[in-house]
Structure 1
Amino acid sequence: MAKEGRGRQQRVTQEKKRNVDQDKKSVADQKREFQARYAEEHQLGEGGCGAVFAGYRIEDRFPVAIKHIPKNKVYCKVADESGKKLSVEVAIMVKLAGEAEGSVGISAPVSLLEWFDLGKELILVLERPVPAVDLQKYKAENGRTLTEDKAKVILKQLVDAVKELEDKHIFHRDIKGQNILIETGSDVPRVRIIDFGLSCFVKQRSLYRIFYGNIFCSCFSQMEQFVSFVLEEIAIVSVC
């Protein structure tokens, strides 16, 4: 067990260093490294920011999720210490991985293992909890409604996870059924949060005027504003 623990710690340290040094490598080198370390399998899903595939780490067949993000779908960016623009999703996942070293399988947000910049696209290699389904499928498998006890367990974990992100000045901005995984390997459901593609770093007392996320998963006030905007646009077009 001690040897296994040391091996895991060494791997985490290596992955952390790779995440920091990744932008210093050429596209060709990064592509070779990705292909040498990971095997990609079937597609798991696709959204507005990219597509996700199942896969595994060749070294130990550790299950991973491989997310392909075209550069033209990187909607949110942040400047790093050198002033270079970086995908906010990458920056946040690297920050979470750096602050919780050895958190693979432990933290509520799934862990970033490595990322690669292949020129026209980014590839994020993420932890893939197994077995797990998203919240929508979990509800469908449980008769489309959850018992109060199960709902309380899931909601408590979700609130705790969001609060922890807030304490780290991170706002997910797209929490919905498809982005909440439920691990089903035990009697108690366990919440994992995925897809930080629209997330951002939070600054105290900042005002955020641009809506990100799925409008149909937003609060009533946001939905009301959206409907009013659409009606105004329709009226303008009708007049013209």
Structure 2
Amino acid sequence: MATEFYQNVVADFSGLEVQPPANPPDILSRYQFGRILGKGGFGIVYEGKRLEDGLEVAVKIARKPRKMQYISIPGHPAPLPLEVALLILVNNREPKVTQIVQLLDWQDELDYYIMVLERPLPCTDLRNFISLFRETLSEFGARLVMWQVTHAANACSASGVLHRDIKLENILINPQTLETKLIDFGCGDLLKKSAYNYFSGTREYRPPEFKTKGRYHGTPATVWSLGVLLFRIVFGHFPGPSELRVINSGTWNQPGLSHECRLLIQCLLQLDPSRRIGLEEILSHSWFQPLSP
């Protein structure tokens, strides 16, 4: 069964020159597989069920790029695929950060690495969820979602991880409880103090300093992406250049939006990264006070 499944994976990556291993991957024999949940340029995610206890999971089969990056992390004698290592780093925090998807199992292969991830039910991604509400959420709903996503972003930073692709499609949400989980660390990297000179996330969330200077720092870029996400959730579209200019002018006013929400958006979407609010300060902003314990 595992060999047949692996061959189906190869077929799903149509046109790619990959070969199944001589022996079926052990990890695949421990799960029952279902439909494709998502598919991108470097990976496919399947629904699955762990055979030993029936646990519902997601199985990601990721094709290795030509210059596959491996890194060493504490507790693991051999270097690990970058995405696997980043998830282990954020999952090892105590107490567990429930707003970040948990890595349950993984295996490295010649052409692929395989990750078994938790799959909360019911869930959909935030992009599909807000499409049910004419592309926007109420300010109450936006506050609840953003608090969780910001908490996840802070946990990543504290773990030395840069997610670099926080966006609607990478946030799972329970439509009944609005509980969220940050997923897909495939564009991520280790967080460093020096600047990055390449960007591998989603263009709409790219920090403006990368366009103007060709470089950016990880934490201010994360803050910018949270600002774009919040703007997209409450307005139903991404902020355009003219809107950003008004937001940065200090004269921005938006009827129907609370003063506190407008202030937070202004703090997040500063074109000058040195003027953005600190990532660790966001959850203390007045807009989140109704959610404070």
TM norm structure 2? 0.59
- Superposition deviation, residue 149 in structure 1: 0.5
Q: Distance in 2 between matches of 1:60 and 1:168?
A: 31
* Superposition map of 1:11-160 within 5 A: 31-32=25-26, 34-72=27-65, 76-80=69-73, 85-100=79-94, 103=96, 107-160=98-151
Q: Which amino acid aligns with 1:56?
A: K
Partner residue in 2 for 1:194: 183
1:212 aligns with 2:200: yes
- RMSD between aligned alpha carbons? 2.5
Q: Which amino acid aligns with 2:28?
A: Q
- Superposition deviation, residue 80 in structure 1: 5.0
Q: Distance in 1 between matches of 2:94 and 2:81?
A: 20
Contact 2:171 2:182 in 1 (8 A): yes
- Superposition deviation, residue 163 in structure 1: 0.9
The percentage of aligned residue pairs carrying the same residue is 31
**What count of residue pairs does the alignment treat as equivalent?**
193
- Superposition deviation, residue 29 in structure 1: 7.3
Give ranges in structure 1 of 5+ residues lacking alignment.
1-26, 227-240
Contact 1:130 1:185 in 2 (8 A): no
Give ranges in structure 2 of 5+ residues lacking alignment.
1-20, 215-293
Q: Distance in 2 between matches of 1:171 and 1:30?
A: 33
CA change 1:210–1:184 in 2 (3 A) is same
Question: CA offsets per residue over residues 40-75 of structure 1, 9 Å max, x none?
Answer: 110011123311111111112111110001122775
Contact 1:39 1:55 in 2 (8 A): yes
- Superposition deviation, residue 212 in structure 1: 1.7
Partner residue in 2 for 1:167: 158
Q: Distance in 2 between matches of 1:151 and 1:223?
A: 28
Contact 2:162 2:188 in 1 (8 A): yes
Q: Which amino acid aligns with 2:105?
A: E
1:180 aligns with 2:171: yes
Contact 1:53 1:65 in 2 (8 A): yes
Q: Which amino acid aligns with 2:164?
A: R
Give the match's secondary structure for 1:72: coil
Q: Distance in 2 between matches of 1:171 and 1:99?
A: 15
* Structure whose residues are more often strand by fraction: 1
TM norm structure 1? 0.71
Q: Distance in 1 between matches of 2:50 and 2:56?
A: 7
